[in-house]
Amino acid sequence: MRCDAPLFSLADYDFIMQCRDERPRSKVLDDLKDKYSTSQKRIYQIWRGKKKIGLRGISQLIDQQSRFLI
């Protein structure tokens, strides 16, 4: 993954997966690309299950959640 690629939360992944079967697909892709500032290729990878949250994304989620617990 590129160092400037945006990190997605679990909610982001869930939302992207929910949009997988919506039509017209070109409009859905354009909306997702604009919303998440990412490429069409990355969205397709998520839809196919090839792109998952890496350790960096998980550690970021833990850091965010720990702020609320303190």
Q: Is residue 1 part of a domain?
A: no
* More confident site: 1 or 36: 36
Closest CA to 7 of 38, 29, 33: 38
Write out pLDDT tens, residues 40-67.
Answer: 999 999 899 876 655 555 555 555 555 5
CA 22/CA 37 separation, integer angstroms: 20
Q: Is residue 2 part of a domain?
A: no
CB 33 within 8 A of CB 25: no
Query: In the structure encoding, which two tokens stand for residue 16, read together?
Result: 């992207």
Mean pLDDT, the chain, whole residue set: 79
pLDDT of residue 66: 57
Is the pTM value of this prediction over 0.75?
no
Indicate the pLDDT class of residue 19, thresholds 50, 70 and 90: very high
DSSP state of 49: T
Contacts of 32 (CB under 8 A, 6+ apart): 16, 19, 38, 43
Q: Is residue 3 part of a domain?
A: no
Average confidence (pLDDT) over 22-42: 93
Domain count along the chain:
1
- What domain range is 16 assigned to? 10-69
